Amino acid sequence: MRPASIHRVLLFLVALSSPWQLPPAVAQAHNPLVYADVPDPSIIRVGKAYYMSSTTMHLSPGVPIMKSTDLVNWHLVSYAYDTLTSTDAMALTHGQSTYGRGSWASSLRYHQGTYYVSTFAKTTGKTHVYSTKNIEKGPWKAVSFRPSLHDHSLFFDDDGRVYMVYGSGKIELAELTADVSGLRPGTTPQVIIENASAPAGATPGLPAEGSQLFKVNGKYYLFNIAWPRGGMRTVIVHRADKITGPYEGRVALQD
């Protein structure tokens, strides 16, 4: 998923994560909310605080964590990692470089007292998961596994099973171990949406990716962003009664 303005995504993520409305007499916010490059945002609410992670690609430290109490004023509180991996490419030594690669499109989740930040990296060919009890102070525990699951969304289901939904155009579902340390042995990832770009109509220049999966009132809602050729950035939402589908999709926003 490539950089997109925060305001296009905030409303949808918050609407699904919790009931929320502006109190009367609150001053109207104006975009941009953050005067910085904050692509691929993933947002959660824990108590009265909102936390947002973003993409840093080849830069270190990586995957910044920002905090807000009103979705307007954000400040940096942490990073998920100091260094993605110790290689010549990350250190820019011996003529090596990982410019434009590194870690992309993180997924931020809170489950049973633990915060999880997951991301993937073409630099390592792996999926990386960072967890902590204290998102603002750490420490962070790091695990990684193959393969690198593109633009994934980490998801903890009500029955205790853990998944990642990922892909570009074709969206797949992989089940993880309960401790989120790798793919669950004996399981095979399955395609749950053959062409997630279809609701946008025209042939996509950028296929639907940037998955964010939520469960509301027993239904699964999968958000993706696409860029139809000759069109504009498009938010697509698919809904299903089961995590494996079948899914029905609609265009939610074009901007």
The CATH number of the domain holding residue 131 is: 2.115.10.20
pLDDT confidence of residue 122: 87
Domain membership flag for residue 215: no
pLDDT confidence of residue 25: 58
Looking at residue 198, its amino acid is A
Q: Which of 178, 173, 177 is nearest to 188 (CA)?
A: 173
pLDDT confidence of residue 7: 47
- 169: its two tokens: 């155009």
Average pLDDT across each block of 10 residues of the chain; the chain has 255 residues. List them in order.
Answer: 47 47 68 91 98 94 97 97 89 87 95 98 95 98 97 98 98 98 97 96 85 98 94 95 98 92
Q: Are 155 and 163 in contact (CB under 8 A)?
A: yes
- Using alpha carbons only, how large is the chain's radius of gyration in Å? 18
Domain membership flag for residue 17: yes
Domain membership flag for residue 194: no
Cβ partners under 8 Å of residue 167, min gap 6: 150, 151, 196, 209, 211
pLDDT confidence of residue 23: 58
* The total number of structural domains that make up the chain: 1
Domain membership flag for residue 38: yes
Domain membership flag for residue 205: no
Q: Could you tell me the residue range of the domain that residue 140 belongs to?
A: 7-148
pLDDT confidence of residue 76: 97
Residue 219 CB-density burial (10 A; 0-12 exposed, 13-18 middle, 19+ buried): exposed
pLDDT confidence of residue 16: 46
Domain membership flag for residue 125: yes
Domain membership flag for residue 70: yes
- 253: its two tokens: 């926003």
